[in-house]
Amino acid sequence: MAYNAFFQGLRKPPKFKSIRKFSGWTYPATSGWKVNTSGRHGSVNLNDLGVKIKMRGQARQWGKPSTLTVVYKPGLKQWFASFTVEVPDVTVRFGSQSELAYNEIVAFDLGCETAITTYDGKKVEQVANPRFTQKTEAKIKKVSKELRRKQAPNRTKKIKASRRWKKANRRVAQLQRKAGSQRRDWQHKVTSEIASCYDIGVTEQLNTKGMTRKAKNGSKRKKQKAGLNKSILSVGFGTLNKMLTYKIEAKGGLMIMLPTKDVKPSQRCPKCGTVHKQWAELSNRHHVCLSCGFDVPRDAGSAMVMYNVVTNQQPGLGTSLDSLGCLSSTSKTSKRKNTGSMKQLGQARRQKSSYVAEPGETPSAYAAG
């Protein structure tokens, strides 16, 4: 079709399409493929290609497959299949705040020094940061240095990559994949353990994209900001929150996200509720309240504040769930539904206000119609 359009003068001549730009494809329906598995290993048949591919792996929960995405990673030279399955709905056991089981609530705070700090009303537990990225960083730098010494591809100069460059590039991809696989495996183990012990999870809303932005131009602390970004991405704040959310909700539990700007868990004292602005400095890892003398580590204090807010035990103004909007349908954190632009809404209101009812017609007929 591309060549036909070119010969008709409709388009330019087609160019070579590299596999790096097209890493895979998606089957949006169940036609064109068939999977033979019960959630553990198996095979998948691609009817349009006429091939049968063996699969290796185990799904956490299996159901009726609906979509299939086939992905190819050139650096690793491996194919991956991602399925979307339909699972039965879980009946939520918590309908209102009065039905919350307080002994099954856990509040967790994510950090760089300590990856996860949890508090369930009785004890504080900490999960150390494994730092998978930092452990493989020296090896990746060494292999990347070898990669830069090889002949790299350049399409503008029509230079092909050398065989040694391809081998070195494959070694870099394998090391990066190893660090990512280790981190993902650790995240699944930690979140599965937390979700199996508690029915209600509480944490704060984190803007990971904004937290890991580069330092501004002219900043004198670019290296410190780069190190902080690396530590945050090594833990994977966003992935941990997503995993805990879907695993707790899959068992019929509840996940509560508290607005950070309103609660201020890292600046508020868990005992008296006093907000200390000087506690916002990340270098201050231990907090001592100047009002009541309460002594607590930074991450543990944040988890305690979030737990107290959910159980309505946190002193201070604006720390209840009702005032934060977490229990109402008009929550501050809820997104506006896509019901049209403000211009269309204004036009509809003007039409409604300028409409004159016919004799014998009720004024509400236009709105109902």
Tokens describing residue 368: 């109902």
End-to-end Cα spacing for the chain: 47
Q: Kindly report, residue by residue over 54-87, the tens digit of the pLDDT.
A: 888 888 778 888 999 988 876 667 778 888 888 7
Asked if pLDDT for residue 164 goes beyond 90, the answer is yes
pLDDT of residue 147: 92
Asked if pLDDT for residue 176 goes beyond 80, the answer is yes
Q: Kindly report, residue by residue over 107-130, the tens digit of the pLDDT.
A: 998 888 888 999 988 888 988 888
Residue ranges of the domains in the chain?
2-86, 97-130+178-324
As a whole number of angstroms, the distance between CA 87 and CA 37 comes to 15
Q: Cβ distance 43 to 37 under 8 Å?
A: yes
Q: Which helix (H) or strand (E) holds 128?
A: strand 124-128
Q: Looking at residues 181-186, what average pLDDT do you find? A: 89
Asked if pLDDT for residue 295 goes beyond 80, the answer is yes
Tokens describing residue 362: 């009720």
pLDDT of residue 311: 85
pLDDT of residue 102: 45
Confidence of residue 151 (pLDDT cuts 50, 70, 90): very high
C-alpha of 40 from chain center: 25
Lowest mean pLDDT among 117-126, 141-150, 258-267, 312-321: 312-321
Asked if pLDDT for residue 337 goes beyond 80, the answer is no
Fold of 97-130+178-324: Nucleotidyltransferase; domain 5 (3.30.420)
Is residue 185 exposed (0-12), middle (13-18) or buried (19+ Cβ within 10 Å)? exposed
Q: Which is it for strands 124-128 and 200-204: parallel, antiparallel or unpaired?
A: unpaired
